[in-house]
Chain A
Amino acid sequence: MYRYDEFDEQMVRDRVAQFRGQVERRLSGELDEDHFKPLRLQNGVYLQMHAYMLRIAIPYGQLSSKQMRTLADVGEKYDKGYGHFTTRQNIQFNWIALKDIPTVLEELANVEMHAIQTSGNCIRNVTTDQFAGATAEEIEDPRPWCEIIRQWSTFHPEFAHLPRKFKIAVTAAETDRAAIRVHDIGLHMKHNAAGEVGFEIIVGGGLGRTPIVGTTVKDWVAKDDILDWLEAIMRVYNLHGRRDNKYKARIKILVTELTPEVFTKQVDAEFEAQRDEEKVRLPQEEVDRISDYFKAPAFETLPATSAAYEEAKANDEGFAKWTETNLSAHKVDGYTSVTVSLKPLNVAPGDATSAQMRVLADIAKAYSFDDLRVTHIQNIVLPHIKLDELYNVYLALDDAGLGADNVDLASDLICCPGLDYCNLANARSIPVAMEIQNMFSKYDRDLGKLHINISGCINACGHHHVGNIGILGVDKKGEEFYQITFGGRADEKARIGDIQGPGLRQEEVTPALERVAQKYLEIRQNSDEKFISTLERLGAEPFKEALYADS
């Protein structure tokens, strides 16, 4: 894993010391909230409905066991014994007292973590495929490039005051698990005709008030040129992005208003105009140095199958069922990647207790080369587990309440905090999510892959636009209503879902979705046809009818 150099470390420590002073001045009344707010936001501190919230960056979603243990400690010492993993591959603590935050940030700095660039109009945490470095699908490990981009963007003076926040995601696999088409910039590592690895650049995707699927502005650029291209894109955005209207300030609006063609021309012109001395030429040694941190761990040479694994499956039905949903193919024989579902029933999706975080840390240390990943679906991945040891891992997880066998099924939904926690919310999302999970848990498996995403307002933190079924909370005269969309997806065929009609009352949502699910079971070609495929084959009409059958 990437390790901070001394410079990074000093900078983070200086920042914490500076923030301690700012907090003291806020609490003594020297600083009023209007002046303090931008300072706290720059350090990841939000004020939610009930308390301060601290958002901690987890660069490209990767954690060591030591870091996970520190998060567990923070949850226990300063919060209510839990943390909330988010769609931004971050963690949020919902109940932290302001006076404790500088100390928390110090404890985090001890394990090379921080809350910088988790807020504000800067380039945010770079995200990637949770199976990076483990999946057989990728053409190379995207994480060195995430790290290179992180270093280039951190405190880049030109990009500290962008018109709006800016999110970059990178993947090196054809199956897009990083939702690159709904980010400000999505980078897809791929081969050109000559077989060299470079980047496809997708710009202008995003969710929120104006959901847009990004456009490919460059089919392929060489690795050597990627930072220059990013710089050219950022310059065009910085110059022409709308600063007058917050809702029109994201790059997606600029790309749409200019048209992708004109935007691309401007980027080309900016790229051409870069003088040689301006080019960000990364010396190969530097790329190698960074890549070294992501070196594959010492995998053993193992047979592709494991007798111990097969035997455990034959003897333990629960384990066998879990393996059907929670495993992903590993590039090395005898290994698998495990997704630990943070969506058991009756828990807010994405919450994990400190005790659970410690179990995850222990398992990662003992069985997964000290490596953990946070996914944008709000789950945790143990990327490198030996098949021979998988049953032990499962038993330890299950013992800690982490054995939910529902990855990618309807109950594995994405859900934002909604009105229970969030000051911007129009409606609650967690209770709706829990009710849906309870209903679908009865025949999850029968339904197969189905992504349900819920947001409590149009900011779309719960990615509702790209759920196969999306649910958006709205407020009608003080009452909660939920607008349903069908047909969204966040993968390589990214698409924004279509609103089906008038919003439903809270108590109508679960029965209506149950009718939709029953309709799907009735009209799918066979059990291999996923919900989204049936929908794409037949259109939304039959599902819409089922949705409103009761009204």
Chain B
Amino acid sequence: MSSVRPKLKPATPKVVTAWDASNGFTTYRTPSGDWTQNVAEAEVLTHEAADEALEAAKKDQTRATDPYLMEVTEDGKVTGRETLRESIRAEGPTCHPNYGRQAEVN
């Protein structure tokens, strides 16, 4: 999977994800241009709209670090080539169920 993320097709549903600049937590861009830790609240986009959201995210330096586009299903669930990596980013380490977002949710 490495540090280079795969290229996605324009029509593939995606969300903008990044790291929260202050605590490094995984974060997703919402329809209002805010950020959330909950992937379910992220804005699902395709085509130019996705690229534009990414460009906007890149300018949001005080809040988000290294944003990129991540593949999701149409209803915003983690999917595709990087499902394992992105699930771990979304939930927390699989070997430490007490850490990460999964700890708050469960």
Contact = CB atoms under 8 A, between A and B. Distances in A.
Interface in B11-57: 19, 21-26
B2 interface: yes
A475 B19 CA distance: 23
Given A50-B26, A51-B24, A98-B22, A28 B62 contact: yes
Contacts of A302: none
B62 A426 contact: no
A321 to B, nearest CB: 27
B4 to A, nearest CB: 10
A48 interface: yes
A33 B94 contact: no
A47 B18 CA distance: 11
Interface residues of A, number: 35
Residue in A51, A80, A99, A479 whose Cβ sees the most chain B Cβ within 10 Å: A51
Contacts of B81: 477-478
A419 B25 contact: no
Contacts of B21: 26-27, 33, 98
Interface string A22-38: 00001111001100000
A29 B23 CA distance: 15
A228 interface: no
Contact of B2 (A33, A80, A431, A457): A457
Contact of B24 (A27, A50, A419, A425): A50
B12 to A, nearest CB: 14
Contacts of A419: 1, 84-85, 88
A311 B106 CA distance: 49
B58 to A, nearest CB: 9
A485 B3 CA distance: 25
Given A49-B26, A420-B93, A420-B95, A27 B88 contact: no
A-B pairs, top 10 by smallest CB distance, nearest first, are A29-B62, A420-B93, A51-B24, A52-B24, A430-B95, A97-B23, A478-B81, A32-B61, A33-B65, A475-B1
Interface of A: 26-29, 32-33, 47-52, 80, 95, 97-99, 348, 419-421, 423-426, 428, 430-431, 434, 457, 475, 477-480
